[in-house]
């Protein structure tokens, strides 16, 4: 380790962590947050919802199963930096195609290891998520703290425009894992766009605010012909696709900054069934007259307990968000809360039967349960039917 390059993480409030660099060398800025997942670092690195954030993993060793192309959640990486207790240089898995360190280097992401991640996480939990700077090129602590203070906040900033697609496209790929039900209907799935399928299919327009690929795979698995459109696509253009339903995707940052999507949702409400996930849930809440607020440190991990209020069942969910819907601000009597987080009672789901729309704050496609939330995609197709 003597030849390893030093790296420093400095927070805006003066807290500093010095460790060793792995991956790319340089300097980056972002909101410093933590994720409690034991696995899934590759999905985290490629989830567009992490745009503008430096992610700390609470699990002590990261990288031991490497990186493979099939588990990507988007076409590129979006995190501002990656912090771990210990990086495993040995990647031992038959699916591994490269090491985590090589992946970070290739994608120009700075990695930091050998810091006290427990101390960092406790600091964030106590004082809230902080702006930070991660650097291997400037090791002056005082200067780095000043840089962190001066770095831009994500509040009020539209990060969606950084991650949305440039133009509309069709998505036809279903889940890649071996599933008997999917394999049985594979030919039907592949014929969706040829109109030859014997199964009932639904024309879905997915508004890409930073969509994860596994959401698209799940929509196809449940019989949807999916057209993905940029986030700034207006309601009129969306309706020209003659959709049976509209899907609002996850994405990064402050939902109140993405006013154009909220306006589109208002105009679509009541015309077509709508299903929203994560940022899509928040934008649906805003479109229905509610407000959102920034959480102290958010929910990020694959172990968040959520209660489905209609039957009191508890789902173990995957989440990644720093903003939440203020349920008390929703005065519309047609809107009901369907799910709550059991850790802090924040809103995890909304529904408006009058307008055939619903949303959840968590990620049902991530399947940590593993099938606790699979019913949500079926609920969407039932609405369209």
Among 222, 299, 321, 363, the one annotated catalytic = 363
What does the chain come to in residues?
Answer: 385
363 among known catalytic residues: yes
Q: How many DSSP H helices and E strands does the chain contain?
A: 12, 19
| Order of strands, sheet of 357-360, starting from the edge strand that comes earlier in the sequence | 169-171, 224-230, 202-208, 245-248, 274-277, 357-360, 347-352, 335-341, 291-308, 313-326
d(CA 36, CA 302): 7
d(CA 123, CA 127): 6
DSSP state of 380: H
Residue 20 zone, left/alpha/beta (φ > 0; ψ -120 to 50; rest): beta
CA atoms within 13 A on the CB side of 73: 25
Among 278, 348, 351, 352, the one annotated catalytic = 278
Among 31, 218, 256, 365, the one annotated catalytic = 365
Pairing of strands 27-35, 53-57: parallel
352 among known catalytic residues: no
The catalytic residues are 278, 363, 365
């Amino acid at each position: 380790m003597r030849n390893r390059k030093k790296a420093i993480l400095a927070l805006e409030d003066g807290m500093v962590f010095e460790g060793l660099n792995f991956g790319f060398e340089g300097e980056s800025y972002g909101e410093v947050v933590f994720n409690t997942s034991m696995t899934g670092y590759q999905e985290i690195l490629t989830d567009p919802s992490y745009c503008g954030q430096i992610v700390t993993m609470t699990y002590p060793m990261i990288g031991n199963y490497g990186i493979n192309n099939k588990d990507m959640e988007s076409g590129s990486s979006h995190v501002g930096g990656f912090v771990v207790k210990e990086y495993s240089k040995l990647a031992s898995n038959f699916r591994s195609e490269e090491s985590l360190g090589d992946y970070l280097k290739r994608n120009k992401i700075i990695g930091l290891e050998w810091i006290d991640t427990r101390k960092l996480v406790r600091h964030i939990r106590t004082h809230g998520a902080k702006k930070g700077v991660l650097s291997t090129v400037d090791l002056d602590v005082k200067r780095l703290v000043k840089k962190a203070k001066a770095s831009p906040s994500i509040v009020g900033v539209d990060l969606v425009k950084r991650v949305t697609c440039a133009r509309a496209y069709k998505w036809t790929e279903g889940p890649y894992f071996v599933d008997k039900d999917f394999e049985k209907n594979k030919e039907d799935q592949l014929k969706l766009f040829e109109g030859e399928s014997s199964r009932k299919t639904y024309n879905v327009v997915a508004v890409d605010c930073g969509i994860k690929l596994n959401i698209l795979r799940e929509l196809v698995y449940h019989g949807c012909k999916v057209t993905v459109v940029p986030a700034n696509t207006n309601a009129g253009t969306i309706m020209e696709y003659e959709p049976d339903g509209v899907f609002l995707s996850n994405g990064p940052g402050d939902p109140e900054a993405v006013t154009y999507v909220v306006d589109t949702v208002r105009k679509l409400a009541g015309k077509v069934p709508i299903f929203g996930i994560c940022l899509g849930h928040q934008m649906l809440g805003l479109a229905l007259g509610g407000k959102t607020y920034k959480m102290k440190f958010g929910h990020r991990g694959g172990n968040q307990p959520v209660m489905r209020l209609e039957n009191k069942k508890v789902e173990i969910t995957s989440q990644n968000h720093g903003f939440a819907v203020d349920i008390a601000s929703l005065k519309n009597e047609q809107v009901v809360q369907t799910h709550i987080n059991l850790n802090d009672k924040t809103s995890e789901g909304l529904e408006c039967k009058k307008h055939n729309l619903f949303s959840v704050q968590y990620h049902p496609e991530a399947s940590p349960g593993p099938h606790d939330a699979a019913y949500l995609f079926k609920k969407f197709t039932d609405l369209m039917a």
